Structure 1
Amino acid sequence: MSESRLSEEARIALSRYSSDKAAQTLLPLWLQFEAFLQSRGTLPSSIPDIPEESLRAYATSLDYRDWHVDDALVALSAVLLVCLHASYNAKILRSIVIPRIRRPVQNRQWDAFRVRTYQPLEYSQLARSRRRRTKHEVCASDPARIEDSVT
Protein backbone atom coordinates (compact mmCIF):
# COMPACT_ATOMS: atom_id res chain seq x y z
CA MET A 1 0.00 0.00 0.00
CA SER A 2 1.47 3.33 -1.02
CA GLU A 3 1.75 6.24 1.33
CA SER A 4 -0.57 9.20 0.77
CA ARG A 5 0.76 12.61 -0.20
CA LEU A 6 -0.08 14.03 3.24
CA SER A 7 1.80 11.20 4.97
CA GLU A 8 4.82 11.79 2.76
CA GLU A 9 4.78 15.50 3.63
CA ALA A 10 4.42 14.69 7.32
CA ARG A 11 7.33 12.24 7.19
CA ILE A 12 9.52 14.79 5.40
CA ALA A 13 8.62 17.57 7.83
CA LEU A 14 9.28 15.37 10.86
CA SER A 15 12.56 14.03 9.54
CA ARG A 16 13.74 17.55 8.75
CA TYR A 17 13.03 19.00 12.20
CA SER A 18 13.33 16.08 14.61
CA SER A 19 15.06 12.77 15.23
CA ASP A 20 14.06 9.49 13.61
CA LYS A 21 12.72 8.21 16.93
CA ALA A 22 10.47 11.27 17.27
CA ALA A 23 9.24 10.78 13.71
CA GLN A 24 8.45 7.11 14.43
CA THR A 25 6.52 8.15 17.54
CA LEU A 26 4.56 11.01 15.98
CA LEU A 27 3.76 9.53 12.57
CA PRO A 28 1.16 6.99 13.84
CA LEU A 29 -0.67 9.86 15.54
CA TRP A 30 -0.59 11.76 12.25
CA LEU A 31 -2.00 8.72 10.44
CA GLN A 32 -4.93 8.69 12.89
CA PHE A 33 -5.61 12.31 11.96
CA GLU A 34 -5.36 11.45 8.28
CA ALA A 35 -7.90 8.65 8.77
CA PHE A 36 -10.15 11.21 10.47
CA LEU A 37 -9.83 13.49 7.42
CA GLN A 38 -10.66 10.60 5.08
CA SER A 39 -13.73 9.72 7.15
CA ARG A 40 -14.94 13.29 6.70
CA GLY A 41 -14.30 13.09 2.96
CA THR A 42 -11.82 15.98 2.97
CA LEU A 43 -8.31 14.88 2.05
CA PRO A 44 -6.46 17.99 0.86
CA SER A 45 -3.52 17.89 -1.50
CA SER A 46 -1.02 19.27 1.04
CA ILE A 47 -0.75 19.97 4.76
CA PRO A 48 -1.06 23.79 4.50
CA ASP A 49 -4.32 23.23 2.58
CA ILE A 50 -6.00 21.45 5.50
CA PRO A 51 -9.06 23.51 6.47
CA GLU A 52 -9.03 25.09 9.90
CA GLU A 53 -12.48 23.61 10.52
CA SER A 54 -11.06 20.11 10.09
CA LEU A 55 -8.41 20.74 12.75
CA ARG A 56 -11.07 22.09 15.12
CA ALA A 57 -13.35 19.13 14.40
CA TYR A 58 -10.48 16.72 15.14
CA ALA A 59 -9.80 18.47 18.47
CA THR A 60 -13.48 18.19 19.34
CA SER A 61 -13.57 14.52 18.35
CA LEU A 62 -10.62 13.87 20.68
CA ASP A 63 -12.71 15.37 23.45
CA TYR A 64 -15.47 12.81 22.90
CA ARG A 65 -13.26 9.73 22.56
CA ASP A 66 -12.86 7.42 25.50
CA TRP A 67 -9.23 8.47 26.00
CA HIS A 68 -7.35 9.78 28.97
CA VAL A 69 -6.87 13.55 28.87
CA ASP A 70 -3.10 13.21 28.40
CA ASP A 71 -3.52 10.86 25.41
CA ALA A 72 -5.88 13.29 23.70
CA LEU A 73 -3.48 16.19 24.30
CA VAL A 74 -0.53 14.21 22.91
CA ALA A 75 -2.50 13.22 19.80
CA LEU A 76 -3.53 16.81 19.10
CA SER A 77 -0.04 18.12 19.84
CA ALA A 78 1.49 15.66 17.38
CA VAL A 79 -0.85 16.81 14.62
CA LEU A 80 -0.21 20.47 15.38
CA LEU A 81 3.55 19.90 15.44
CA VAL A 82 3.48 18.24 12.02
CA CYS A 83 1.36 21.10 10.68
CA LEU A 84 3.73 23.67 12.16
CA HIS A 85 6.77 22.01 10.59
CA ALA A 86 4.94 21.84 7.27
CA SER A 87 4.51 25.65 7.25
CA TYR A 88 0.88 25.78 8.34
CA ASN A 89 -0.27 29.15 9.66
CA ALA A 90 1.01 29.30 13.27
CA LYS A 91 -1.64 31.81 14.30
CA ILE A 92 -4.37 29.33 13.44
CA LEU A 93 -2.54 26.46 15.16
CA ARG A 94 -2.34 28.41 18.42
CA SER A 95 -6.12 28.70 18.50
CA ILE A 96 -6.78 24.95 18.08
CA VAL A 97 -7.55 23.43 21.50
CA ILE A 98 -9.47 20.53 22.96
CA PRO A 99 -12.61 22.09 24.45
CA ARG A 100 -12.18 21.10 28.08
CA ILE A 101 -12.77 22.96 31.32
CA ARG A 102 -9.73 24.43 33.09
CA ARG A 103 -10.10 24.88 36.83
CA PRO A 104 -7.68 25.83 39.60
CA VAL A 105 -6.15 22.96 41.49
CA GLN A 106 -7.57 22.72 45.00
CA ASN A 107 -5.36 23.30 48.06
CA ARG A 108 -2.50 24.92 46.18
CA GLN A 109 -0.74 28.11 47.16
CA TRP A 110 0.05 29.15 43.61
CA ASP A 111 -2.10 29.63 40.54
CA ALA A 112 -1.51 26.23 38.96
CA PHE A 113 -4.12 24.84 36.60
CA ARG A 114 -5.03 21.36 35.50
CA VAL A 115 -7.18 20.04 32.71
CA ARG A 116 -10.43 18.61 34.03
CA THR A 117 -12.88 16.70 31.90
CA TYR A 118 -16.59 17.29 32.07
CA GLN A 119 -16.97 14.07 34.05
CA PRO A 120 -14.24 13.31 36.62
CA LEU A 121 -12.15 10.29 35.72
CA GLU A 122 -12.92 7.17 37.71
CA TYR A 123 -9.41 6.74 39.12
CA SER A 124 -9.37 10.32 40.45
CA GLN A 125 -12.69 9.78 42.23
CA LEU A 126 -11.34 6.59 43.81
CA ALA A 127 -8.14 8.32 44.91
CA ARG A 128 -10.10 11.22 46.40
CA SER A 129 -12.36 8.88 48.38
CA ARG A 130 -9.32 6.93 49.65
CA ARG A 131 -7.67 10.17 50.83
CA ARG A 132 -10.86 11.25 52.61
CA ARG A 133 -11.27 7.84 54.23
CA THR A 134 -7.62 7.80 55.38
CA LYS A 135 -7.89 11.32 56.75
CA HIS A 136 -11.08 10.44 58.60
CA GLU A 137 -9.51 7.29 60.08
CA VAL A 138 -6.45 9.24 61.25
CA CYS A 139 -8.62 11.87 62.90
CA ALA A 140 -10.82 9.25 64.55
CA SER A 141 -7.90 7.22 65.90
CA ASP A 142 -5.86 10.12 67.29
CA PRO A 143 -6.88 10.60 70.97
CA ALA A 144 -4.99 13.91 71.26
CA ARG A 145 -7.20 15.43 68.57
CA ILE A 146 -10.32 14.17 70.30
CA GLU A 147 -9.25 15.75 73.61
CA ASP A 148 -8.36 19.03 71.87
CA SER A 149 -11.76 19.18 70.23
CA VAL A 150 -13.52 18.58 73.56
CA THR A 151 -11.66 21.33 75.45
Structure 2
Amino acid sequence: MDNNADTGSTPAADRAPPRSAAATIAVVLGSIGLLGAMATDAIAVLGRHTGFSLLGSIEIVQTMIVLLASSAIVLATLERNHAAVHILTERLAPRRAALLARLASAVSAMIVAVLLIGALWLLSDLWNAHERSELLHIPFRVLRAIFAATLLIVSVIFAWQAVARRTQ
Protein backbone atom coordinates (compact mmCIF):
# COMPACT_ATOMS: atom_id res chain seq x y z
CA MET A 1 0.00 0.00 0.00
CA ASP A 2 1.18 3.51 -0.78
CA ASN A 3 2.10 5.34 2.42
CA ASN A 4 1.67 8.72 0.73
CA ALA A 5 -1.94 8.09 -0.29
CA ASP A 6 -3.29 8.61 3.22
CA THR A 7 -1.31 11.73 4.11
CA GLY A 8 -1.41 13.43 0.75
CA SER A 9 2.33 14.11 0.92
CA THR A 10 4.77 13.42 -1.86
CA PRO A 11 7.91 11.33 -1.53
CA ALA A 12 11.10 13.26 -0.78
CA ALA A 13 12.53 12.41 -4.20
CA ASP A 14 9.58 14.08 -5.94
CA ARG A 15 9.73 17.32 -3.96
CA ALA A 16 11.42 20.34 -5.49
CA PRO A 17 14.34 21.75 -3.51
CA PRO A 18 13.44 24.81 -1.45
CA ARG A 19 13.82 28.12 -3.26
CA SER A 20 16.08 30.86 -2.04
CA ALA A 21 14.59 34.17 -0.93
CA ALA A 22 15.85 35.82 -4.13
CA ALA A 23 14.15 33.16 -6.27
CA THR A 24 10.92 33.58 -4.32
CA ILE A 25 11.03 37.36 -4.88
CA ALA A 26 11.62 36.81 -8.61
CA VAL A 27 8.65 34.41 -8.77
CA VAL A 28 6.39 36.88 -6.94
CA LEU A 29 7.40 39.83 -9.14
CA GLY A 30 7.02 37.74 -12.29
CA SER A 31 3.62 36.56 -11.12
CA ILE A 32 2.53 40.14 -10.54
CA GLY A 33 3.67 41.00 -14.06
CA LEU A 34 1.92 38.00 -15.61
CA LEU A 35 -1.31 38.48 -13.68
CA GLY A 36 -1.26 42.21 -14.39
CA ALA A 37 -0.80 41.64 -18.12
CA MET A 38 -3.50 38.97 -18.24
CA ALA A 39 -5.99 41.00 -16.20
CA THR A 40 -5.41 44.13 -18.26
CA ASP A 41 -5.82 42.25 -21.52
CA ALA A 42 -8.91 40.41 -20.26
CA ILE A 43 -10.55 43.68 -19.17
CA ALA A 44 -9.66 45.29 -22.51
CA VAL A 45 -11.20 42.39 -24.49
CA LEU A 46 -14.27 42.34 -22.28
CA GLY A 47 -14.58 46.08 -22.73
CA ARG A 48 -14.44 45.82 -26.50
CA HIS A 49 -17.33 43.37 -26.43
CA THR A 50 -19.45 45.35 -24.00
CA GLY A 51 -18.96 48.80 -25.45
CA PHE A 52 -16.35 50.46 -23.26
CA SER A 53 -12.68 50.73 -24.00
CA LEU A 54 -9.72 50.55 -21.68
CA LEU A 55 -7.41 53.24 -22.99
CA GLY A 56 -3.75 52.39 -22.72
CA SER A 57 -4.22 48.67 -22.17
CA ILE A 58 -1.38 47.84 -24.55
CA GLU A 59 0.93 50.20 -22.67
CA ILE A 60 0.04 48.58 -19.35
CA VAL A 61 0.63 45.10 -20.80
CA GLN A 62 4.01 46.18 -22.19
CA THR A 63 5.00 47.56 -18.79
CA MET A 64 3.95 44.32 -17.10
CA ILE A 65 5.96 42.33 -19.64
CA VAL A 66 9.12 44.23 -18.66
CA LEU A 67 8.53 43.13 -15.06
CA LEU A 68 7.68 39.57 -16.12
CA ALA A 69 10.66 39.15 -18.45
CA SER A 70 13.08 40.69 -15.97
CA SER A 71 12.04 38.35 -13.19
CA ALA A 72 12.07 35.37 -15.54
CA ILE A 73 15.67 35.92 -16.59
CA VAL A 74 16.76 36.46 -12.98
CA LEU A 75 14.98 33.27 -11.90
CA ALA A 76 16.42 31.24 -14.78
CA THR A 77 19.90 32.46 -13.90
CA LEU A 78 19.47 31.75 -10.18
CA GLU A 79 18.27 28.22 -10.83
CA ARG A 80 20.77 27.57 -13.66
CA ASN A 81 17.96 26.88 -16.09
CA HIS A 82 19.23 28.65 -19.18
CA ALA A 83 19.20 26.61 -22.36
CA ALA A 84 22.32 24.50 -22.70
CA VAL A 85 23.56 21.64 -24.82
CA HIS A 86 25.44 18.99 -22.88
CA ILE A 87 26.67 16.79 -25.73
CA LEU A 88 30.30 17.46 -24.82
CA THR A 89 30.10 18.00 -21.08
CA GLU A 90 28.16 14.81 -20.32
CA ARG A 91 31.07 12.80 -21.73
CA LEU A 92 33.68 14.57 -19.58
CA ALA A 93 34.85 13.73 -16.10
CA PRO A 94 32.79 15.52 -13.43
CA ARG A 95 35.66 17.84 -12.45
CA ARG A 96 36.22 18.93 -16.02
CA ALA A 97 32.50 19.40 -16.64
CA ALA A 98 32.29 21.55 -13.49
CA LEU A 99 35.26 23.61 -14.66
CA LEU A 100 33.62 24.21 -18.03
CA ALA A 101 30.36 25.16 -16.31
CA ARG A 102 32.23 27.72 -14.23
CA LEU A 103 33.97 29.04 -17.33
CA ALA A 104 30.60 29.34 -19.09
CA SER A 105 29.25 31.30 -16.11
CA ALA A 106 32.26 33.64 -16.22
CA VAL A 107 31.83 34.27 -19.95
CA SER A 108 28.10 34.78 -19.45
CA ALA A 109 28.81 37.31 -16.69
CA MET A 110 31.08 39.24 -19.07
CA ILE A 111 28.55 39.20 -21.90
CA VAL A 112 25.74 40.40 -19.64
CA ALA A 113 28.10 43.07 -18.22
CA VAL A 114 28.68 44.36 -21.76
CA LEU A 115 24.90 44.48 -22.29
CA LEU A 116 24.63 46.34 -18.98
CA ILE A 117 27.17 48.93 -20.15
CA GLY A 118 25.08 49.52 -23.28
CA ALA A 119 21.86 49.73 -21.27
CA LEU A 120 23.41 52.23 -18.85
CA TRP A 121 24.73 54.25 -21.76
CA LEU A 122 21.23 54.48 -23.26
CA LEU A 123 19.73 55.18 -19.85
CA SER A 124 22.11 58.06 -19.17
CA ASP A 125 21.89 59.42 -22.69
CA LEU A 126 18.08 59.48 -22.71
CA TRP A 127 17.43 60.22 -19.01
CA ASN A 128 16.39 63.83 -19.68
CA ALA A 129 14.60 63.06 -22.94
CA HIS A 130 11.24 62.80 -21.13
CA GLU A 131 10.17 59.88 -23.29
CA ARG A 132 6.75 58.64 -22.28
CA SER A 133 4.10 56.34 -23.67
CA GLU A 134 1.41 58.07 -25.72
CA LEU A 135 -1.75 57.58 -23.66
CA LEU A 136 -0.74 56.89 -20.07
CA HIS A 137 2.57 58.76 -20.15
CA ILE A 138 4.48 55.86 -18.59
CA PRO A 139 8.12 57.06 -18.42
CA PHE A 140 10.44 54.88 -20.46
CA ARG A 141 13.41 55.74 -18.25
CA VAL A 142 11.83 53.72 -15.42
CA LEU A 143 11.47 50.70 -17.70
CA ARG A 144 15.08 51.13 -18.87
CA ALA A 145 16.20 51.36 -15.24
CA ILE A 146 14.38 48.10 -14.44
CA PHE A 147 16.11 46.48 -17.43
CA ALA A 148 19.53 47.79 -16.35
CA ALA A 149 18.96 46.59 -12.77
CA THR A 150 18.02 43.18 -14.14
CA LEU A 151 21.20 42.99 -16.19
CA LEU A 152 23.24 43.97 -13.14
CA ILE A 153 21.60 41.27 -11.02
CA VAL A 154 22.07 38.61 -13.71
CA SER A 155 25.71 39.57 -14.22
CA VAL A 156 26.38 39.33 -10.48
CA ILE A 157 24.63 35.95 -10.29
CA PHE A 158 26.69 34.60 -13.19
CA ALA A 159 29.89 35.93 -11.61
CA TRP A 160 28.95 34.31 -8.29
CA GLN A 161 28.23 31.01 -10.05
CA ALA A 162 31.63 31.22 -11.75
CA VAL A 163 33.52 31.43 -8.45
CA ALA A 164 31.26 29.51 -6.05
CA ARG A 165 31.35 25.77 -5.80
CA ARG A 166 28.13 24.08 -6.77
CA THR A 167 26.48 22.35 -3.82
CA GLN A 168 24.49 19.86 -5.88
TM-score (norm 2): 0.26
Q: Which has the larger radius of gyration?
A: 1
TM-score (norm 1): 0.28
Higher strand share: 1
Q: Which has the higher contact order (CA 8 A, sep 6+)?
A: 2
